[in-house]
Amino acid sequence: SAVEGKGFFIQDRVTFNNWTVMAGLRSDYSVVKDDLGAELWTWDWQEFISPRLSVLYDINGDEKHILKFSYGTFKDTATTRIAEFFLAQGGYSYRRYNWTGDTTHEATEAELHSPDNWEFASEQSPQSNPMHADPDIKPNSNERFLLEYAYRINPAHAFTVRYVNSTSKDML
């Protein structure tokens, strides 16, 4: 399996008096393929649009009392891990058999190896249970809001209080 993709981001930071504003935008394009190179799904640039915004306010202008608000949308590109479930040439394959031999005594080595004592029950393989990817599947998405107050005690120590609200959707 393979994932092919491209990404870009743009970011800027502006400081004016006690205010600092950072804004950014990221997006990606991703194609997930199975082990034969067949396309499982594609995510276009608009499905990966991830804006970020952060506003810092230096309350006294002394870099000791900082109030921060930030917002961001984070999208995960696919890894090949999820594509393992769609392998055409292997993957998670097994067969299950049930014992039909004599159960009145402990089976001998010869009885265990005799196909006459086993009955096929089921098979799990790409051929017997093909998996099909939903073409409308969306990338993992996480939206986060952060509100923070930081007091810098000295250059090596700070006291911080932080609130984070995080919401995830479209999880694979």
Q: Are 4 and 30 in contact (CB under 8 A)?
A: yes
Q: Name which residue leads in pLDDT, 25 or 75.
A: 25
pLDDT band at 113 (very low <50, low <70, confident <90, very high): very high
Q: Residue for token digits 């640039």?
A: 45
Q: Residue for token digits 């393979």?
A: 2
Phi, psi of 78 (to 5 degrees): -75, 145
Q: What is the pLDDT of residue 172?
A: 65
pLDDT at 81 over 70: no
Mean pLDDT of 63-74: 96
- CB count, 10 Å around CB of 41? 19
Mean pLDDT of 160-170: 93
Q: Are 58 and 65 in contact (CB under 8 A)?
A: yes
Mean pLDDT of 38-46: 86
pTM given for the model: 0.67
pLDDT band at 73 (very low <50, low <70, confident <90, very high): very high
Contacts 24+ apart (CB under 8 A), 108-116: none
Q: What is the pLDDT of residue 157?
A: 95
* Gap between the Cα atoms of 168 and 157, Å rounded: 33
